[in-house]
């Protein structure tokens, strides 16, 4: 499976390669580009404890749903995000960080509706270099993708996706990554890329968006969030550890 | 039915760097100026909560609303061009300040070689070293002629730098402010390049090392190294931008107005003269005609070319015959580089958009190309612009792209990776050009601009060469693992590369191969000026804004002169 990931990633992400691997010139994509060379499995992690995920909600928190109407779909999304960014000894995974709620909120708004994007037809199948050409909006792609993941789970294991073992979930996610699943109006590989990006966005965006709960994503990564200035620290020869700060806690 | 407004002396399309510079200079000279800007008013006070990677860097808060207008793209002529539906390869700006609000601020002068590239290359390496399909041409202006305008722009910007680049063109004045801090990361690059026999120097920076008041009386503050520059506005007013310099300068004259939410859809003309512009206020839906003595196109590369095309001004470039000039010589850049993985942690999350060091040993014609299969080159840099956690997830090769191993490696390496970067020059090719799309339209019913572009053999050879140099430097810096860029194949509009698009409305000395003369005055219409990176006859191995600013000051001088004397300026 891992070698398959490697191949897929080359095709999907290194196509252009005009970009220095991992380079940040001009700021951008990118850090992860090198990483798309996947090799050994490594996806099968132990099931850790999870907090604040799935369909549980508590009053007064961002953990409410604006987009997903039923628990079933939301639980599938939650489990898939956790496979992409699992809890480990470094800290919480996607569910613990509130990533499923982040994605839910985003799908309900400008992101899910492609508000700032050119959505006029006609629509044609693109060359690989021409990018997003679907008539579907992201909210429709996510919902369809989740339904297809469930369908794959039923076809392959006669079990709901959310009830599968980690390895089985990974098999299905990898099938999407490799574009082996048929979707309508969009490719499975494109859905996978959207999903993967959304997970990282939820893990590391400001907690005011509903993910990165307790700034735990930033704490794991050593990113201090919103800091006014580093002018008195940037000359330091040593790595400087700084308690992160959120825009949300800054009124 | 359009409402016709009172005539003004000068109308500019857009209020970014070029529109702002022309507005400031023309308004100071007593001309009445209106800038028609499709975006919103904005300024430093809007950026107090700007440290939000998701909103600004990932969801492109400050960028053009593509639902209204985008471009179409294909790699080559036998493909169907399709719309760029989401932002990707480059980031188009919108609103007061334009792309000058969200830029990094790395502000260069092109090399003397750039402006005479055809003459000098032919002389040294024989005619058409690259072959006739590469449409190299001189710019119709020399470095020495442009130097005073570079000087003016640098003073407006308060540029921070040192004057130690041995390959730079002659300067009439030192940098207005001292260089930025030479951080430990930059020192590492300086030491490695020195050991290799190269000369590193600080990147000229429009994030200022100290507070500075420019000749127009506008103050730019000192940079705080907060690490949120490119794709963001500056909450300190410490990144030189149009809205804190030339726009207030223009406004203080009382001769200047910016009209917001107003999208120009056509340049009007009659009898070989521009008469004004037609625009739509997209809030009210009303259509207006703004008559003007002089019309100046100061929007981005793409839109300047498009407005000329839809207004039927000039001869469209035809790649089959090589005839025509409008849309010709579209260029971009390539970004070879090397990524190094270290055991030690660096403060990579701190930084500033222009904080960095560079070497020019492999830029322009600073090295001999006799035995090489390409021309020109690239600067090589180590920048510390502030890496942010959503976009930056570096992992070594052979790591999965998701799951437990990915998570661990991307967190581990977030502060343990440095990159040597570059901006490889892009030379014009017969098959790379701009035209109008036959199918897709913008929100106003006007055709989208169509881009036909692919990397060339020149690009591939240069990319390989510069990658090798980058790897050499990174290894000298002591990385435990160094990964060079993958070779380039086809240009892909999806991943972000660089917002250094050039050409399409090229300047020159010959109307057969250029759209405007060296005052950026249209060859066919004396009272029409077209200003921006679209004027570049090719793209150099640097960020373009320094040269764009210099050209805008040159055009402003021409516009003022034209207002008094009329006629062709050359």
B376 as an active site residue: the answer is no
Domains detected in chain B: 3-565 (3.50.50.60)
Give chain B's end-to-end CA distance (angstroms, integer).
39
Q: Where does residue B349 fall: left (phi above 0), alpha (psi -120 to 50 degrees), or beta otherwise?
A: alpha
pLDDT tens track for B531-541: 999 999 999 99
> Sorting pLDDT into bands at 50, 70 and 90, what band is A250?
low
pLDDT tens track for B102-142: 999 999 999 999 999 999 999 999 999 999 999 999 999 99
* A249 contacts chain B (CB < 8 A): no
* Spatial separation of the C-alpha atoms in residues B412 and B420, rounded to whole Å: 20
* B184 contacts chain A (CB < 8 A): yes
> Is there a contact between B485 and A17 if contact means CB atoms under 8 Å apart?
yes
> Sorting pLDDT into bands at 50, 70 and 90, what band is A249?
low
CA distance A69 to chain B (A): 25
* A205 contacts chain B (CB < 8 A): yes
**DSSP strand pairing (B380-385 vs B417-422):** antiparallel
Q: Is the dihedral of CA A92, A97, A98, A103 positive or negative?
A: negative
Q: What pTM, to 2 d.p., does this model score?
A: 0.92
List C-alpha distances in Å: A77 to A24, A74, A88, A111, A173: 31, 5, 19, 17, 11
Q: What is the rounded average pLDDT for all residues in chain B?
A: 98
Residue in chain A lying closest to B453 (CA):
A129
Q: What is the pLDDT of residue A63?
A: 83
Burial B104-126 (b: 16+ CB within 10 A, else e): bbbbbbbbbbbbbbbebbeeebe
Instruction: Please compute the mean of the pLDDT values over residues B13-40 and round it to a whole number.
Output: 98
Using the predicted structure, report yes or no on whether residue B548 has a pLDDT greater than 50: yes
> Is there a contact between A28 and B497 if contact means CB atoms under 8 Å apart?
yes
Chain B, 520 to 539: residues with Cβ < 8 Å from chain A are none
> Sorting pLDDT into bands at 50, 70 and 90, what band is A32?
very low
Using the predicted structure, report yes or no on whether residue B162 has a pLDDT greater than 50: yes
**DSSP strand pairing (B256-259 vs B433-441):** unpaired
Extract the runs of DSSP E, i.e. beta strands, from B442-514: 447-452, 481-484, 502-504
Given a contact cutoff of 8 angstroms between Cβ atoms, the answer to whether B96 and B243 are in contact is yes
* A184 contacts chain B (CB < 8 A): no
Instruction: Please compute the mean of the pLDDT values over residues B538-546 and round it to a whole number.
Output: 98
pLDDT tens track for A48-62: 334 444 444 455 677
* Spatial separation of the C-alpha atoms in residues B429 and B137, rounded to whole Å: 11
Phi, psi of B82 (to 5 degrees): -125, 155
Cα A29–A124–A118 angle (5° rounding)? 55
Instruction: Please compute the mean of the pLDDT values over residues B385-389 and round it to a whole number.
Output: 97
Given a contact cutoff of 8 angstroms between Cβ atoms, the answer to whether B409 and B395 are in contact is yes
Using the predicted structure, report yes or no on whether residue A11 has a pLDDT greater than 50: no
Tally of helices (H runs) and strands (E runs) in chain A: 7, 0
* A119 contacts chain B (CB < 8 A): yes
List C-alpha distances in Å: B39 to B23, B44, B243, B304, B343: 17, 16, 13, 16, 46
Q: What is the pLDDT of residue A19?
A: 36
Instruction: Please compute the mean of the pLDDT values over residues B369-383 and round it to a whole number.
Output: 98
- Reference A61, options A211, A199, A220, A246; nearest CA is A211
Instruction: Please compute the mean of the pLDDT values over residues B295-323 and round it to a whole number.
Output: 97
> Is there a contact between A26 and B498 if contact means CB atoms under 8 Å apart?
yes
Q: What is the pLDDT of residue B464?
A: 98
* Spatial separation of the C-alpha atoms in residues B164 and B173, rounded to whole Å: 13
> Sorting pLDDT into bands at 50, 70 and 90, what band is B284?
very high
Phi, psi of B34 (to 5 degrees): -125, 130
* Spatial separation of the C-alpha atoms in residues B46 and B55, rounded to whole Å: 14
pLDDT tens track for B204-262: 999 999 999 999 999 999 999 999 999 999 999 999 999 999 999 999 999 999 999 99
> Is there a contact between B495 and A29 if contact means CB atoms under 8 Å apart?
yes
pLDDT tens track for B164-205: 999 999 999 999 999 999 999 999 999 999 999 999 999 999
pLDDT tens track for B503-522: 999 999 999 999 999 999 99
pLDDT tens track for A142-157: 999 999 999 999 999 9
- Reference B279, options B269, B264, B261; nearest CA is B264
Which strands, in side-by-side order, build the sheet including B71-74? B82-83, B71-74, B447-452, B433-441
Instruction: Please compute the mean of the pLDDT values over residues B275-296 and round it to a whole number.
Output: 97
Complex confidence, ipTM: 0.96
**Contacts with A28 from chain B: Cβ below 8 Å:** 391, 495-497
């Amino acid at each position: 499976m891992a070698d398959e990931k490697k191949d897929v990633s080359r095709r999907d992400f290194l196509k252009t390669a005009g970009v220095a691997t991992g380079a940040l010139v001009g700021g951008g994509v990118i850090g992860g580009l090198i990483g798309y060379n996947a090799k050994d499995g490594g996806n099968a992690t132990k099931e850790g404890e999870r907090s604040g995920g799935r369909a549980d909600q508590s009053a007064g928190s961002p953990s409410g749903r604006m987009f997903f109407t039923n628990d079933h779909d939301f639980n599938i999304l939650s489990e898939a995000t956790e496979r992409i960014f699992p809890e480990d000894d470094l800290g919480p995974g996607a569910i613990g960080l509130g990533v499923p709620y982040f994605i839910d909120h985003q799908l309900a708004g400008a992101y899910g509706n492609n508000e700032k994007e050119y959505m006029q037809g006609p629509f044609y199948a693109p060359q690989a270099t021409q990018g997003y050409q679907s008539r579907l909006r992201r909210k429709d792609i996510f919902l369809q993708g989740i339904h297809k993941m469930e369908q794959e789970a039923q076809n392959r294991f006669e079990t709901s996706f959310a009830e599968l073992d980690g390895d089985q979930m990974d098999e299905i996610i990898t099938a999407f990554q490799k574009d082996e699943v048929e979707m309508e109006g969009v490719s499975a590989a494109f859905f996978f890329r959207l999903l993967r990006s959304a997970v990282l966005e939820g893990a590391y965006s400001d907690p005011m968006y509903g993910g990165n709960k307790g700034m735990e994503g930033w704490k794991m990564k050593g990113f201090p969030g919103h800091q006014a200035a580093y002018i008195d620290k940037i000359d330091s020869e040593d790595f400087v550890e700084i308690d992160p700060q959120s825009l949300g806690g800054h009124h | 039915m359009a409402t016709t407004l009172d005539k003004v002396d000068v109308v500019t399309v857009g209020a970014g760097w070029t529109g702002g510079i022309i507005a400031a200079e023309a308004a100071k000279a007593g001309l009445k100026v209106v800038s028609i800007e499709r975006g919103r008013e904005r300024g430093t006070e809007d950026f107090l909560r700007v440290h939000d990677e998701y909103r600004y860097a990932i969801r492109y808060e400050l960028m053009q609303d593509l639902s209204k207008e985008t471009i179409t793209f294909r790699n080559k002529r036998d493909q169907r061009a399709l719309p760029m539906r989401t932002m990707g390869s480059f980031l188009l700006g919108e609103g007061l300040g334009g792309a000058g609000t969200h830029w990094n601020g790395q502000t260069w002068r092109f090399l003397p070689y750039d402006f005479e590239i055809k003459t000098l290359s032919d002389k040294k390496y024989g005619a058409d070293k690259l072959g006739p399909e590469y449409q190299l041409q001189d710019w119709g202006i020399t470095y020495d002629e442009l130097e005073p305008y570079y000087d003016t722009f640098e003073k407006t910007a308060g540029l921070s730098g040192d004057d130690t680049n041995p390959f730079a063109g002659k300067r009439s004045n030192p940098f207005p402010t001292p260089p930025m801090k030479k951080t430990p990361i930059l020192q590492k690059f300086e030491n490695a390049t020195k050991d290799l026999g190269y000369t590193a120097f600080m990147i000229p920076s429009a994030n200022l090392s100290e507070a500075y008041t420019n000749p127009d009386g506008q103050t730019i503050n000192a940079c705080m190294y907060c690490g949120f520059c490119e794709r963001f506005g500056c909450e300190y007013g410490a990144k030189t931008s149009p809205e804190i310099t030339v726009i207030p300068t223009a406004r203080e004259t009382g001769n200047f107005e910016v009209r917001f939410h107003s999208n120009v859809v056509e340049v009007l003309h009659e009898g070989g003269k521009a008469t004004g512009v037609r625009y739509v206020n997209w809030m009210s839906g009303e259509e207006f005609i703004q008559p003007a003595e002089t019309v100046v196109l100061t929007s981005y590369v793409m839109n300047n070319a498009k407005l000329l095309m839809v207004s039927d001004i000039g001869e469209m470039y035809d790649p089959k015959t090589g005839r025509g000039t409008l849309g010709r010589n579209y260029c971009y850049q390539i970004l070879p580089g090397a990524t190094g993985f270290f055991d030690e942690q660096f403060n990579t999350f701190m930084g500033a958009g222009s904080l960095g060091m560079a070497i020019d040993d492999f830029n322009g014609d600073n090295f001999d190309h006799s035995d090489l299969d390409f021309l020109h080159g690239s600067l090589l840099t180590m920048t510390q612009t502030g890496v942010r956690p959503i976009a930056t997830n570096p992992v070594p090769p052979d790591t999965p792209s998701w799951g437990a191993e990915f998570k661990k490696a991307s967190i581990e390496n977030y502060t343990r990776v440095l990159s040597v970067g570059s901006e490889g020059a892009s030379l014009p090719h017969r098959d790379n050009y701009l035209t109008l799309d036959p199918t897709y339209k913008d929100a106003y019913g006007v055709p989208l601009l169509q881009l036909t572009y692919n990397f060339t053999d020149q690009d591939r050879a240069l990319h390989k060469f510069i990658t090798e140099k980058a790897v050499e430097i990174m290894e000298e810096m002591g990385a435990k693992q160094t990964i060079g860029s993958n070779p380039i194949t086809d240009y892909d509009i999806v991943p972000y590369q660089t917002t250094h698009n050039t050409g399409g409305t090229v300047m020159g000395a010959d109307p057969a191969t250029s759209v405007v003369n060296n005052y950026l005055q249209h060859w066919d219409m004396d009272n029409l000026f077209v200003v921006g990176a679209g004027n570049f006859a090719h793209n150099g191995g640097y960020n373009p804004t320094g040269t764009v600013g210099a050209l805008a000051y040159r055009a402003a001088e021409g516009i003022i002169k034209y207002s008094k004397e009329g006629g062709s300026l050359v």
